[in-house]
Structure 1
Amino acid sequence: MFQAKAFAPFEKLASELMVHSSEGDDGSHDIAHVLRVFKNAMRIQALEGGDARVIAAAVLLHDCVAVEKNSPMRSKASVLAAEKASAVLAELDWDGDDIAAVAHAIVTHSFSANVPPETLEAKILQDADRLDAIGMIGAGRCFYIGGRMSSALYDPFDPSGSNRQLDDKRFVIDHFQTKLLKLADGFQTNAGRALAAERDQRLRDFLGAFMDEI
C-alpha cells in the first residue's frame, strides 16, 4: 500500500503525482525504485543545493511512461515521460518555468536518451537514478531485468567475453561490462560521485565473486 509519508517532506506532492506513475509490472521500475531514487536525490540535494520541490517532482514522475529495456522505443522513454509529466503538472497549476525544469530533468536522466543535463536539478536526478543502477541494488535489478528478457546468466564457455562480442541481451553478466561498470565515471555532482565510488566498488566485488564461483 502506498505510503506518502515515506516521501517526507513532500508527502502531499507524492500523493498528487504517484497516481500518474507507470502502472506496469516491471519490478525494476516500481514504487520501490522511485522511493530509492527519491532518497538518493534528497541526500545529494542536502549537500549540493538545488530546488528540492522540482527535484522531488522529477523523481516522482521520471518513469511515468513504461518502456521495456528491449523495446525499440526505449531511447524515447524519457521524452515521453517528460511530456506526460508536463501535462500532469500543468493540470496542478504549476508555474511554466518549474514545469520546464522538471521536464528537462526527466529527459536528461536517461542513459539511453544521451542528453546532457544542464541544470543542477537535472544533474541530481541523473545521479540519483544511476546510483540505483550500481552497487548491490544495481546487480539485483540487472538480473531481474535479464529474467524478464529471458536472458541466460552467462556464456558457459566464455563468461567474461574474452573471445566473443559482448551481448547483454543474451547474457546478463555482459551488462556489467557494457554499461554498469561505466556508470561511475559519468556522475555529475561531487556528492553523487562519492556515493557512486562506493557502489561501483561493491559492483566490482560482486562481479569478481560471481566469476570466481563459476
Structure 2
Amino acid sequence: MFQAKAFAPFENLAIELVPHSSEGDDGSHDLAHVLRVFKNAMRIQALEGGDARILAAAVLLHDCVAVEKNSPIRSRASALAAEKASAILAELGWDGNDIASVAHAIVAHSFSANVAPETLEAKILQDADRLDAIGMVGAGRCFYIGGRMSSALYDPFDPAGSYRELDDKRYVIDHFQTKLFKLADGFQTKAGRALAAARDERLRDFLAAFMDEI
C-alpha cells in the first residue's frame, strides 16, 4: 500500500507522481526501488545541497519508462523516461526550466546512457541510483535480474572467469566483475562516494563468501 508520508517532506509531490513512477513487473525497478533511491538522494542532498524539489521529482520519475536489461533500446531508457517525465510535469504546470532540470537529471542517471551529469541534482540522482546497485540490496537485485533473464548463477567449472571471457548475460556473478565493482569509482559527490565505499566493501565480502561456498 502506497504511503505518501514515506516520501516526506514531499508527500504532495509523491501523491502526484508515484502513479507514474514505475511500469511493468520488474521487481528491481519497482516502487520499493524508487523509495530506496529517494532516501539515498535525500541523505546526500542534506550534505551536498541542491534543489530538493527538483531532485525529488527526478527520483520519482527516473524509471517511469520500463525497458528490460536485455532490450536493444536499453541505452535509450533514461531518455525515454525524461521525455515522459517532461510531459507529466508540463501537465502539472511546472516551469519549463524546472522541467528541463528534472529531465537532465533523469537522462544522466543511467549507466548505459553514458551521459555526464552537469547539475548537482543530476549528480545526486546518479549517485543515489547507483547506491542501490551495490551493497546487499545490489547483490539481491543482481540475482533477481539474472533469474528474470534466465541466466545461470555461475560457470561451475570456472566461476571466477579465470580462463574464459566474462559473460554477465550468461552467468549472474560475472556481473559483479563486469559492472558492479566498477561503480564505486564513478560517484559524483563526496557524500555519495563515502556511502559507496561502504557498500562496495559489503558487495566484495558477499562475493568472497559466495565463492567460498561454491
Instruction: Give the TM-score of the pair, scaled to structure 2.
Output: 0.99
* Gapped regions of structure 2 (runs ≥ 5): none
1:23 Cα deviation after fit: 2.3
- Please report the RMSD computed on the Cα atoms of aligned residues, expressed in angstroms: 0.4
Tell me which residue corresponds to 2:141.
141
SS of 2:44's equivalent in the other structure is: helix
Query: Percent sequence identity over matched residues?
Result: 88
* Gapped regions of structure 1 (runs ≥ 5): none
Are the aligned partners of 2:21 and 2:34 in contact in 1 as well (CA < 8 Å)? no
Cα offsets for 1:168-213 (capped at 9, x unmatched): 0000000000000000000000000000000000000001001111
Tell me which residue corresponds to 1:91.
91
1:20 Cα deviation after fit: 1.3
Equivalent AA in structure 2 for residue 200 of structure 1: D
Cα offsets for 1:103-161 (capped at 9, x unmatched): 00000000000000000000000000000000000000000000000000000000000
CA distance in 1, matches of 2:99, 2:207: 40
Say yes or no: does 1:106 pair with 2:106. yes
CA distance in 2, matches of 1:34, 1:66: 13
CA distance in 2, matches of 1:170, 1:43: 36
Q: Which runs of 4+ in 1 moved over 6 A?
A: none
Tell me which residue corresponds to 1:4.
4
1:92 Cα deviation after fit: 0.6
CA distance in 1, matches of 2:138, 2:150: 18
CA distance in 1, matches of 2:153, 2:81: 31
CA distance in 2, matches of 1:133, 1:114: 16
Tell me which residue corresponds to 1:121.
121
Say yes or no: does 1:17 pair with 2:12. no
Cα offsets for 1:69-92 (capped at 9, x unmatched): 000010000000000000000001
